[in-house]
């Protein structure tokens, strides 16, 4: 209600019908941006479904947006050159360097054509691999909602249980709502990057942000004690499943 009222009074003031209104600033509570420490990132990957493990490692190792990762195709991945090309909505491309841990995990993926990261359903006949995740117009995150929730819960990451009774049902159902969202992996990469390099311009360039102000929203200051852990994570990462 305040916005239209303020607009009307501002217009009246410019017409000389009344004095210019004085409104107190609206206080907006800013939620702190969350990031994972190396040990938490390891637990997340260890407790993720096998087809999501390479995706999580890719996001933590490159800082790519979820949309960039889910749109990535093998033709744009150079494992030998340790680089990938990701595409923006506007058709703009950018080159992303792949650290050793990402190379290692990408090599565990069985298929080598089409989209790199694909949905997998477990059926009685075995895993059913889809062609690609649903294209939601670059609004990504919901495609892995179930897998993300389960991985965070099994990893012991913070969250809450939501309970409800389905329409027409009697038995309550529950869903784990993590405090972290998949986008927190980009915040994590940015915070790790700054902890290792202490170079805000390098971070802005490699993270593909348009201005420093946005970079400061993503990157949080971590104790320098984590530097060696982060460097080791980008080299080796978690050893689990198909990845030794």
Between residues 18 and 26, the one the model is more confident about: 18
Find where tokens 């050893």 sit: 239
Question: Tens digits of per-residue pLDDT, 87-114?
Answer: 876 678 999 999 999 999 999 999 999 9
Strand ranges inside 28-157, DSSP E: 77-78, 83-87, 93-97, 120-123, 126-129
Q: What confidence score (pLDDT) does residue 223 get? A: 94
The per-residue pLDDT for 68 is 94
**Phi, psi for 163 (deg, rounded to 5):** -115, 145
The pTM assigned to this predicted structure is 0.83
Domains in the chain, start-ordered, CATH in brackets? 35-235 (1.10.443.10)
| Sheet with 77-78, side-by-side order of all strands | 77-78, 83-87, 93-97
How sure is the predictor about 27, in pLDDT bands with cuts at 50, 70 and 90? very low
173: helix, strand or coil? strand
Q: Are strands 83-87 and 173-178 parallel, antiparallel or unpaired?
A: unpaired
């Amino acid at each position: 209600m305040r916005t239209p009222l303020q607009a009307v009074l501002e217009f009246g003031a410019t017409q000389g019908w009344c004095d210019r209104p004085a409104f107190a600033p609206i206080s907006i509570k800013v939620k702190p941006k969350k990031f994972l420490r190396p040990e938490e990132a390891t637990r997340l990957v260890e407790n993720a479904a096998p087809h999501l493990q390479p995706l999580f490692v890719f996001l933590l190792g490159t800082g790519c947006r979820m949309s960039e990762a889910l749109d990535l195709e093998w033709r744009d991945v150079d494992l030998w050159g340790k680089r990938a090309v990701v595409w923006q909505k506007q058709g703009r491309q950018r080159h992303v360097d792949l650290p050793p841990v990402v190379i290692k995990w990408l090599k565990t993926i069985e298929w080598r054509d089409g989209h790199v990261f694909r949905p997998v359903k477990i059926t009685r006949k075995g895993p059913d691999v889809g062609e690609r995740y649903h294209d939601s117009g670059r609004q990504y995150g919901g495609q892995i909602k179930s897998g993300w929730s389960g991985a965070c819960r099994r990893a012991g990451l913070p969250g809450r249980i939501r309970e409800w009774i389905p329409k027409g049902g009697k038995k309550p159902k529950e869903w784990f709502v993590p405090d972290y969202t998949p986008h927190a992996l980009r915040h994590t990469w940015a915070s790790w990057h700054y902890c290792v390099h202490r170079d805000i311009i390098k971070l802005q360039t490699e993270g593909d942000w348009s201005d420093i102000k946005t970079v400061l929203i993503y990157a949080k200051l971590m104790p320098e004690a984590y530097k060696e852990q982060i460097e080791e994570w980008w080299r080796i990462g978690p050893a689990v499943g198909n990845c030794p």
